[in-house]
Amino acid sequence: MFTRTRRSFVAQAAGVAAGLAMAVAAMPSMAQNYPTRPITMVCPWGAGGGTDATARIIASLLEKELGQPVTVVNRTGGSGVVGHSAIAAAAPDGYTIGVATVEIGMMHWQGLTELTGTSYTPIGLVNADPAGVQVRTESPYKTIQDLLAAIKANPGKLKASGTGQGGIWHLAIAGLLRDQKIDPATVPWVPSNGAAPGLQDMIAGGVDLAPVSLPESRSLIDAGKVRSLAIMAEEPAALYPNVPTLKKAIGSDWTMAAWRGIVAPKGIPADVRDKLAAAIKKIAASKEFNDFMSKQGYGVIYKAPDDFASFMAKSDKELGATMKAVGLIK
């Protein structure tokens, strides 16, 4: 009786082991069937901004590539920490991905989070946009020289907004001021949850300038509500070629750009990552994506996962050095 029971147990255990082995062996093929359900794309910034627009066009094209719905969810707050944290903390199964932005190389320097680019699985870099200097149309400042002269003459009077404290656009104007030997503290920064609310605050008279990108300002520029004084890039923007570079306007070599790329939580299966990366590469090269980005004035730049990882590491190092130089971190 005992022998039969023991033999039955051994046979049962062997069957379980064989079943587990078959399940493990089947895992790669299961991953190859990815995705089998909808995907969530987390956007760390508010609706109406450049990151939101980029996320939504990629999501719509990704749906076509993968055959499953891709829903954009805006998780704002904490100068980007909330959304970036949501991406990093999600299950590493490929069903939650997100848009990482240049701020991932800045937030940890400020002590806001421990997250860095290494906290994610890079999928692909898709965009980069330089900062500009925008004022409302009724502003007395017609040129960047006018604005800088007013800042020098009235320390602390002119305020700026367009992102959180220590965010990319804050760093952009602080770096420009330092480059011009003006104390960055002479332009108080009013934190916002992105370019759109910062621009609205400027139009309402709450702040005097918004050092955000031209694409983010486009609708208000075209509506005659905002004037762009300069762009922090080496070359003029195709969207508004008459807006001078800082180099042309004041002889400054200062440049600063925001970038955006698709990432997933760390540890997703390699073949799921590869499938996502192949889809993003195809999207970045597509006419539909490039036409949309061109129409909005957004710059398209593609880097594959490994190159994107290197890009984030380099960006992180350079941003940290710049933030220390302008006194945003001690």
pLDDT tens digits, residue range 187-227?
999 999 889 999 999 999 999 999 999 988 999 999 999 99
Strand 96-101, strand 257-265: pairing: antiparallel
Residue 164: pLDDT band (50, 70, 90) is confident
CA atoms within 13 A on the CB side of 167: 29
Least confident of 12-16, 268-272, 315-319: 12-16
Higher pLDDT, 21 or 273: 273
User: Going by C-beta distance under 8 Å and a sequence separation of 6 or more, which residues neighbour residue 219?
Assistant: none
Least confident of 18-22, 39-43, 65-69: 18-22
In this predicted structure, the answer to whether residue 56 has a pLDDT above a threshold of 80 is: yes
Q: Give me the pLDDT at residue 329, please.
A: 82
C-alpha span between 171 and 11 (Å, rounded): 67
Percent of the chain residues past pLDDT 70, beyond the cut: 90
Which residue, chain included where needed, has tokens 């806001």? 112
Residue 234: pLDDT band (50, 70, 90) is confident
Q: Give me the pLDDT at residue 31, please.
A: 58
In this predicted structure, the answer to whether residue 167 has a pLDDT above a threshold of 70 is: yes
Percent of the chain residues past pLDDT 90, beyond the cut: 72
In this predicted structure, the answer to whether residue 278 has a pLDDT above a threshold of 90 is: yes
Residue 20: pLDDT band (50, 70, 90) is very low
Higher pLDDT, 60 or 21: 60
- Measured in residues, the chain has a length of 330
Q: Give me the pLDDT at residue 238, please.
A: 81
Residue 325: pLDDT band (50, 70, 90) is confident
Q: What is the pTM of this model?
A: 0.72
Q: Give me the pLDDT at residue 24, please.
A: 42
- Are 279 and 35 spatial neighbours (Cβ–Cβ below 8 Å)? no
Q: Give me the pLDDT at residue 7, please.
A: 44
In this predicted structure, the answer to whether residue 106 has a pLDDT above a threshold of 50 is: yes
How much is the mean pLDDT over the chain?
A: 89
Q: Give me the pLDDT at residue 323, please.
A: 87
Higher pLDDT, 50 or 245: 245
Q: Give me the pLDDT at residue 177, please.
A: 94
In this predicted structure, the answer to whether residue 237 has a pLDDT above a threshold of 70 is: yes
Q: Please report, as a single letter, which amino acid is at residue 199.
A: L
In this predicted structure, the answer to whether residue 282 has a pLDDT above a threshold of 50 is: yes
